[in-house]
Every structure is written in C-alpha cells, then in structure tokens.
Amino acid sequence: MPYFRTAVLLAVMTALFMGVGWLIGGGQGMAVAFFLALGMNLFALWNSDRMVLSLYRAREVDEQSAPEFVGIVRQLAARAGLPMPRTYIVENPQPNAFATGRSPSKAAVCATTGLLQLLDRREIAGVMAHELSHVQHRDTLIMTVTATLAGAIGMLANFAFFFGRSRDNPLGALGTIVVMIVAPLAATLVQLGISRSREYEADRRGAEICGQPLWLASALGKLGMASGRIPNPQAEAHPATAPLFIVNPLHMKAVDNLFATHPSLENRIARLEAMAQGMGGAPADLDPAPQAATGPWSRPATATRPGGRGSVPDSGPAPSGRRGPWG
C-alpha cells in the first residue's frame, strides 16, 4: 500500500505538471520549463548528499573516531543486506538524524550529537535502522523526483505571469491567475503527502531491520519531546531539508494535516506498538559495545591519528547521569 500510494501521488503530480503546462504555456512553454527544472534537479540529485552534509557541517567518522556509533550502523546495514554507508555526526544539540544519497552505494547516514547523548544503544539502533530503510527504498531519490516536478510546476506558474497566452488558454486570463496560485500549492501538498507516506514505511522496515519495533517507538517519543524544545538553526534557515529528518526539526506542530512534513509522532508510535504486539519471538540483540569507547563520537585512548602522528588522549568517562549507548 505505501508503494501504491507513492506511485499514485507521483502520477497525480506528473498529470498536474502536464496539465498546467498545457493550460498556461502551450507545448513550447511546458518543454522549456520542464528542461530547466530537470537540469537543476539533476544537479541536485548528483550533489544532494554533499550539499546537505556541507550545509549542516557534518563530519565523517569511522571505527577509530566513533566506534560504537559506526559499529551499530555496520551491524544494521549487514542485517538489511546493504553496503556500509558513510557515517557522519553533526554538532547540534537537537536530537535528530537523516539519510542522504541517490543510491545505497552512495548513501550517507548522519546523527546529531544531541541524539547520541539522549538515546541509549538500542534506541540509536532503532533510529539508524529507520534511516537505512530510507536508503534501501531509495526514498531520497523519490523525494528528488517530486522536488523536480514541484519545481517545474512552480516555474510554469511563474512563466504564466510573463508568457501566459490567454488566447490559447481555454480558461482565459482569469484561469491563468488561478493556476498560478493553485498549482504550486497543489504540488506542495502532493510532495508532503509522499514524504509522510515514506516515513510510515521507513518506520515499518526499520523495525524489521533492528528486530524490535519498540526500540524505535521509544526513540521517537524522546525525540519528539526534545526536538520541540531545542532549536535547529540550520533547519530553520533551510526548511526544505526538514523532510529528510526522522522527526520534524522545525519549531511547529508536526500534526497529521495537509501541510505537515511528517506524520504525527503519536500515530507513528501507535503503529510501531501494534507491530510489536504482532511480532513473535525475541529479536537478536546487538553485539556488545566496544569496551574502549567512551561515546559514539569519542576516540578510544589508543586511537592514532591518520598519518601516525601519535595517540589521542582519552577524553575520560561520561558523567554518571549521562545517557548514551556507552552506559
């Protein structure tokens, strides 16, 4: 059903795009707008991962710099049958995470320091399994396609103001004005509908990958409460990136309405709890955390910098009251 709904919404957006082009610009105007939008979005498709990671100043980590975090991702990727994605951490107090990349072989997953501090090991596994589900289902590619069509519709609507040919338009000048207002709004609604649909499916598949839906349900509950209190300045400055995150990073109510970037957390948690009740058997647990690690982004005491320039001193144990996958 999620795939069918996504296909229907993409078909609706495509039909809307074609209809708007015919109404306000004729065949020539439609073709020009389409190829301009397609060119811009193809560039974004091939460079979207670097653009987003650079925007949030994410730094890449590995087994030496973040052994626990990378270890969790590696185990989950193996369970999902995916190649190991690149792993990144963003210095941001808001607990959140996202995935990017046009294909599983080019994927990257990213978590904020706030998420790694707030959640325990199993909850982090639930979150990263959700992000790997996006990678497996190529949701970043789907969202790029919808952005292409939405952008093309918006460009056609703008062309209508300057190049609309009212004599060829069966709706006339008034119809052109209506299309200029309604078409971009309709495209945005369809785009958000696809985003919400993919979140539900990523929750379901992520729960299957980690083996326990309640891990992700518990994580979503904590993320929802914390993200509403802690601002994310980069996301506020670039709201178009909001659908990438596991929970809405913007300070607005993420309710299940037409303009929400994400489904309501209450609905998502309820679905995961129902899924947990229907799953039989105990899930295979994650491997024990590496003993030398002090945190998912900290270097162990014996870590060596690339190039062999000496060891990095241990940063010391985490405070006794601190939550995280190391304790």
Residue 66's identity, in one-letter code, is A
Position 272 pLDDT exceeds 50: yes
Q: Which residues contact 152 (CB under 8 A, 6 or more apart)?
A: 17, 33, 34, 36, 37, 38
Q: Give the model's confidence band at 284: pLDDT under 50 very low, under 70 low, under 90 confident, else very high.
A: low
Position 233 pLDDT exceeds 60: yes
> Which SS3 state, helix, strand or coil, does residue 304 take?
strand
Handedness of CA 108, 112, 115, 121 (dihedral sign): positive
Distance from C-alpha of 249 to C-alpha of 228, rounded to nearest angstrom: 8
Instruction: Show binding-site residues.
Output: 130, 134, 199
pLDDT over 90 percentage in the chain: 36
Instruction: Show binding-site residues for Zn(2+).
Output: 130, 134, 199
Write the DSSP string, 122-143. HHHHHHHHHHHHHHHTTHHHHH
pLDDT tens, position by position, 55-96: 899 999 999 999 999 999 999 999 999 999 999 999 999 999
Catalytic residue among 68, 123, 131, 201: 131
**Average pLDDT for the chain:** 76
Q: Which residues contact 137 (CB under 8 A, 6 or more apart)?
A: 198, 201, 202, 205
Distance from C-alpha of 115 to C-alpha of 219, rounded to nearest angstrom: 9
Query: Which of 117-121, 260-264, 286-290 is the least confident region?
Result: 286-290
pLDDT tens, position by position, 150-202: 767 777 776 666 655 545 555 566 666 766 777 777 777 776 777 777 899 99
DSSP state of 64: T
The answer to whether the beta carbons of residues 52 and 41 sit under 8 Å apart is: no
Task: Name the β-bridge partners of 133.
Answer: none
The answer to whether the beta carbons of residues 243 and 172 sit under 8 Å apart is: no
The answer to whether the beta carbons of residues 143 and 194 sit under 8 Å apart is: yes
**Residue 131 falls in the annotated catalytic set:** yes
